[in-house]
Amino acid sequence: MTADDVGVVDLEGRLDAAWELRRTDPAAAVEQAESLRDLAAERGDDAARCRSLTVAGAGHVARNDYPAALRALLEALTLLDAVDAPQRARTLSEAGYVDALVGDTALGVERLLAALEISEELLDRRNQTATLNRLGIVFYDRGDLDEAQHHYERALERCDDEVLRAGVCNNLAKVLTERGAFERALEHLRVARDGFEAAGDRRGLGMTFHNAAVVNEHVGDADRVRDQLETSIALYEEAGHVHGACEARIRLARQLLTSGEPARALALLERAHGEAEELGFTTECIAASEVLVDLHEAAGRLPEALDWMRHLRQAERRQFDHGSEQRLRSLQVRYQLERLQRDSITDALTELLNRRGLDQTLPQVVAQAREEGTELALLLLDLDDFKHVNDAHSHTVGDEVLRAVGRILRAGTRPTDRCARLGGEEFVVLLPDCDLAQARRVAEQLRHRIAAHDWDALGQGLTVTTSVGSAVLSQVGDADDLIDAADRALYDAKRGGKDLVR
């Protein structure tokens, strides 16, 4: 094994460890993933960079930092071509979940379904379970209990991982509680508790106790509710899950108010509100403020009630603004990453596709032509004696010639055609639904346009001509063969005297 091989194995092992760490210590997982992302970038390893960004995104989700998760995962999506199918499914699943969390439910479900399709083709039961569970969460949050239950139950059918099973059972119990199926909900919570306990997942255990308390609220077992919420808070605190602890404290405070313990309820609510406000949990700020208004009003403390009413109104405004801000930040992140991706496949000089863009586009266009049963033509153009242009008129004029040729190609082709600068003075034009005779006509038109352009405006006595080779998909095997055939035809045009189409 070479030193490079050792480095790759070490990087993969560290990524695996960071992925597992995302559940128990998401902050550490994010730190490790970002360090590994930088290392992968230094090595030019796009596959490892995609994996590390996916781990970072999952860690940010566990920390409720959805904008940071979105940035990491959208960057990971730009690297999907570099990874194998299982990793592609994991990245799509993580990204789709975050899309839904930040409000783009349609895109989120689309990506989750794409991840599910890949996982089903691979018979990857683990990722099938995780993705079905996420679909269930999305539908539950939208209030669609039927779809949520359907996806949770499908997840359980495929699940062969105890920790994943625990998570799905915990979520399904929430649906069953809302449906009034309390015994079934408690059964699923017992399964979830066993799974989380075996894995040492304190956060998961906290969730099961919290959700069991919700069930017992419905059945009127106040003593058990209090005990379970107390346990839940302790577990959440051990796991560092402040969000869950805030929710449980507010629920426990409501119970204490009904049992005549307002002093302890007040302390719990004020702590929950303080933590929620500090960490930006607007929903919990609103919930705590509502109870605090009622508590002070019932005790005749009207100034305090009024003060908390102001807190409530501020939190409600923040919630409205937060939704808009979250959506705006999501759009900004998408725009920035799409621009980076677009720039990475665009030739800066001509604004046509570059070689990388052509390598991505050509297989897609070939696949579409075969699927639709249509022809595809490719033109390969090479400017004749271009070295003479640079030598006689300067490289600056040469660059202006290349820009002008790019504009001529765009103007002389259809919106459905694709134009690319292959490198140097070579260009490619892809012509979907175009046979060889039609391709020759297009090539002749482009050749004439280039020759007839007012080149004298760039340099006195400047002339520019091009030779063109054309080929069609039906006469070759694949995308590489199509370029090779056009290249052979181009060579014939050069050998035949230049400024020709072959």
For the stretch 3-46, pLDDT in tens is 344 345 578 889 889 988 887 788 899 999 999 999 999 988 99
CA pair distance 35, 21, nearest whole angstrom: 14
Mean pLDDT is lowest, of 27-36, 245-254, 324-333, 473-482, for 324-333
Higher-pLDDT residue of 334, 2:
334
Cα-flanking dihedrals φ and ψ of residue 260, to 5°? 80, 40
Q: Is the pLDDT of residue 326 over 60?
A: no
Taking each helix axis from N to C end, the angle separating 386-393 and 395-411, rounded to the nearest 10 degrees, works out to 130
Token digits of residue 121: 């083709």
Strand partners, 470: 379
Q: What is the pLDDT of residues 376-423, one digit of tens each?
A: 999 999 999 999 998 889 999 999 999 999 999 999 999 889 999 998
Query: So what's the pLDDT on residue 319?
Result: 65
Strand partners, 427: 381, 421
Strand, helix or coil for residue 391: helix
Mean pLDDT is lowest, of 9-23, 156-170, 178-192, 457-471, for 9-23
Q: What is the pLDDT of residues 193-219, one digit of tens each?
A: 999 999 888 989 999 999 999 999 999
**92 neighbors 112 (Cβ within 8 angstroms):** yes
Cα-flanking dihedrals φ and ψ of residue 383, to 5°? -70, 130
Mean pLDDT is lowest, of 238-242, 249-253, 272-276, 292-296, for 238-242
Q: pLDDT band at residue 453, thresholds of 50, 70 and 90?
A: very high
Q: What is the pLDDT of residues 297-315, one digit of tens each?
A: 888 898 898 998 988 888 7
Query: What is 355-495's CATH number, 3.40.640.10, 2.60.120.10, 3.90.1150.10, 3.30.70.270?
Result: 3.30.70.270
Q: Which residue from 396, 391, 385 is spatially nearest to 466, judged by alpha carbons?
A: 385
The average pLDDT across 85-101 equals 91
Residue 265 CA, chain-centre distance (Å), reads 41
Query: So what's the pLDDT on residue 400?
Result: 94
Q: Which residue from 107, 157, 161 is spatially nearest to 132, judged by alpha carbons?
A: 157
Mean pLDDT is lowest, of 188-192, 350-354, 463-467, for 350-354
Q: Which residue from 230, 363, 278 is spatially nearest to 64, judged by alpha carbons?
A: 278
Q: Ranked by mean pLDDT, which of 99-113, 215-229, 302-316 comes out on top?
A: 215-229
Q: Is the pLDDT of residue 340 over 80?
A: no
